[in-house]
Each structure stands twice: as structure tokens, then as C-alpha cells.
Amino acid sequence: MAAIDHIAFLADEIGPRGSTSEAEAEAAKFAAKVLARCDLEPEVNGFKSARSNWHPYALFSAIMLLALALFLIGGRIASMLALTFGAISLASALLDFADAVATDNRELGAHRHKFAGAFTEGAIGGKHGMRVLTFIAVRPDGSIPNWHRPSDLLERIDESAIARCDVFLRELLLRIDNA
């Protein structure tokens, strides 16, 4: 089966494959079978994810509205609950740490990027004005080389980008741990 036949099967037979959907699971099984036929030993791992693009945004909004309501109702306990909910929602401290790591390690090439059309795990939050943290090899001009194109092949993976990401993540975790 040629690569285009695999793509056709995924696109035409299985169809859209949203995060954690039945179709995504079916596509993973298909990919595992293809790799097994190539004498490889694929491993399919499960994961937990939001079932929709709007769920994290709706959850964040609901938490903030609840915090506001509790604060307005008043009382010491209500104010403490509002503070707790607000603190949960202020996880953007992580992004501040990431900015600091990027500033202190300019050789890694990490930078802020405003998503315009790319669809990653952070794009939905970014689209709604939320600050998000995504690890992807976005060039300063906003392009992602070979991403989701026929040229998106294993041999085109930028190993130096993966190595820089590894160093960045280690530095970020150290920064969080020492805070």
C-alpha cells in the first residue's frame, strides 16, 4: 500500500479524527497495523484529553464566574473560596517561568508566538485570548516546516529542535522546582 493509499484510507474511510474520538482510536489501530506489517513493534498508548475544543475555555470561564459570585456573596469563607478558585485560574505563572527561561537561554531559540492558523493543543486557548504554552518548532515568521503536509516525514524531523526543546523543558522544570 502506497503512502497516498494510507492517507486516502484515513481521510475517506475513517474521516475526521477529533481528539479522543472513536475515529482517532480507529486511526491509531490502523497505523499500528501498518507499522506491524513493516516488521516494527508499534505501541498504542492511551491518554486523557478534553473531549472538545471549547471545554477548557468554558471550564476556565465557569471557575472565574464562580469565584466572582462567591466574592460578591461575601463572608470570610466565601472570600477564601474565591481566592482559591482565582489561584487555580492563575496558572499563567507557568508562562511567566517559560518567558524567563526563554530570556535566560536565548541560544535555545524559544520565543512567544501568536497563533494565526496553526492547530495545536494550545491554539484554541490562544484563539480565545488565553496565554498558552506549546512546544513546537515554530519559526519566528510563524511557519511550521512540513507540518501536516506530504513532506512531513520522519527524516525531516529537526533533531536540533527536539534537543533544544528537551533543554528548555529541563530548565523550566528546574525553575518551577526552585520557586
Residues 138-160: tens digit of each pLDDT = 777 777 777 777 787 778 877 88
CA 158, 115, 177: angle at the middle one, nearest 5?
70
Nearest-angstrom CA–CA distance, 34 and 64: 46
**Three state DSSP letters for 113-146:** CCCCCCCCCCHHHHHCCCCCCCCCCCCCCCCCCC
Q: What percent of the chain has pLDDT over 70?
A: 75
pLDDT over 70 at 89, yes or no: no
pLDDT digits (tens, 9 = 90+) for 19-76: 677 888 899 999 999 999 989 999 888 766 655 556 656 666 777 777 777 777 776 6
Q: 17 phi and psi, to 5 degrees?
A: -130, 75
Question: Whole-prediction pTM value?
Answer: 0.47
Q: State the residue for C-alpha cell 501498518.
A: 34
